[in-house]
Amino acid sequence: MAQLHILLGLLALLLSVVVSVNGSLCRIPIQRSPNFKRTRAAAKAEMFYIAKKYNLNVATNSTGVEQLSNYDNFQYYGSINIGTPGQNFQVQFDTGSSNLWIPSSQCTSSSCMVHTRYSSYQSSTYKSNGSIFNITYGTGSVSGFMSQDVVSVAGLVIRNQTFGEVTSESGSNFLNASFDGILGLAFPMLAVNLVTPFFQNLISQKVVQQPVFSFYLRNNGTTVTYGGELILGGSDPKLYRGKLTYVPVSYPAYWQFYTDSIQMGNTLISTGDAAIADTGTSLLVAPQAEYTQIAKIFNADSDGVFACGKISKWPTMYIKINGVSFQITPEYYIIQEGYYCALAIQPASQDFWILGDVFLGRYYTEFDVGNQRLGFAPVNAANTLGQSGVLGLLMVLAVYKMFFH
């Protein structure tokens, strides 16, 4: 009996530790798509998707583009509920856009049929809106009408959220995506139809204490589907090393800021370039002139392909932000396919960089809406909540064994 009490005491202690870690932070587990592959073809397909998303021109040697599908690039997603009772959806949490959309029960496109669809008539909190929307992505588009309902995420409830019910998905962009829709986390300025974005409603309805969210993404090449966490209401210092380096948002539409400089080894590529943190992109996208300089270092052809040899002989990339150098070692920005390699860095016609998972998977990122700033710090890959939970369980089991055997 005494042993049982000790065991229960230890369990309570463990639970209190977990709860205090949680504090006022709301954690949403992020899944990693089992389909995700970093390949040269996937990088090309993604560039067409990114170009449409950012309304850019890419050098289009578009032979076979229609056959390329982007779904291999959709790495991270998580779970939300819409309506009463809640209907569950998997969504991509995208800091590069500002609308929430999911397939409608009225949609019979094949992309909708293979995903979960929202039924307004099954929700007692549904309110109609009816405004039309149309968003173009890559080789297709999603269109439909707006609706309003309750959205809940990991126990947080947001009322009166206006979102897109997709009635038609053309193209195959999302056909094989592991998620049903997209939840945009960029600023209101980008929102189609001037809809108040999810996080702005979360702030005005005082659902979180601090107007801050943060991403811990794991992209270290394991096949584990636990992909990290989206944290609403703040940051968890256990998930990163050292202090966050802050930088002001330079223009609150995308999560845009100025870098001090970008270097490849000793070669200076740029000073004072703008960059965007985009959790909905997997690659790094460089302005054309900067990309040309980088391609020269690798002697890469027009497709970014080069003979690579040993990956570790290539230089480390340094992105300096507010005086601190953030490194990306070659195994993260090079895609190896046998003898040949390609860069996970692609060119486009814009004058800013787009930092996708190649960067965000190495650096914990705090999106501070209240102070309009971003914070970056190296991820603490060794100390995740999931792992400490498992560790705690093992501890309890060990204690149990000690006392009962």
Ligand X SMILES: *[C@@H]1O[C@H](CO)[C@@H](O)[C@H](O)[C@H]1NC(C)=O
Q: Which residues bind ligand X (CB under 6 A)?
A: 61, 63, 114, 129-131, 134, 136, 141, 143, 146, 159-160, 162, 168, 175-176, 193-195, 205, 220, 222, 302, 381
From the list 72, 94, 149, 180, the catalytic residue is 94
Helices and strands (DSSP H and E) totals, the chain? 8, 26
Distance from C-alpha of 293 to C-alpha of 268, rounded to nearest angstrom: 9
The burial of 365, by beta-carbon neighbours within 10 Å (0-12 exposed, 13-18 middle, 19 or more buried), is given as buried
141 vs 316, which CB is nearer to ligand X?
Answer: 141
Task: Please answer whether residues 321 and 247 qualify as being in contact, where contact means their C-beta atoms are separated by less than 8 angstroms.
Answer: yes
User: Token pair for residue 155?
Assistant: 């126990």
Give the angle 284-278-327 at the CA atoms, nearest 5°: 50
**Given 72, 180, 273, 278, the catalytic residue:** 278
- Ramachandran angles phi, psi of 230, nearest 5°: -105, 125
How many Cβ atoms sit within 10 Å of the Cβ of residue 99? 24
**Nearest distance in Å: CB 195, ligand X:** 4
Nearest distance, CB of residue 7 and ligand X, angstroms: 29
Our CB check for ligand X shows the closer of 107 and 277 to be: 107
Q: Minimum distance from CB of 210 to ligand X (Å)?
A: 19
Q: Which two tokens stand for residue 373?
A: 């700033």
Active site residue 94: yes
* SS3 assignment, position 157: strand
* Strand 284-287, strand 261-264: pairing: unpaired
Question: 160 or 336: whose CB is closer to ligand X?
Answer: 160
CB of 390 to ligand X, least distance (A): 11
CB of 313 to ligand X, least distance (A): 18
Residue count (the chain): 405
Distance from C-alpha of 395 to C-alpha of 402, rounded to nearest angstrom: 10
Q: Active site includes 368?
A: no
Looking at the annotation, which residues are catalytic?
94, 278
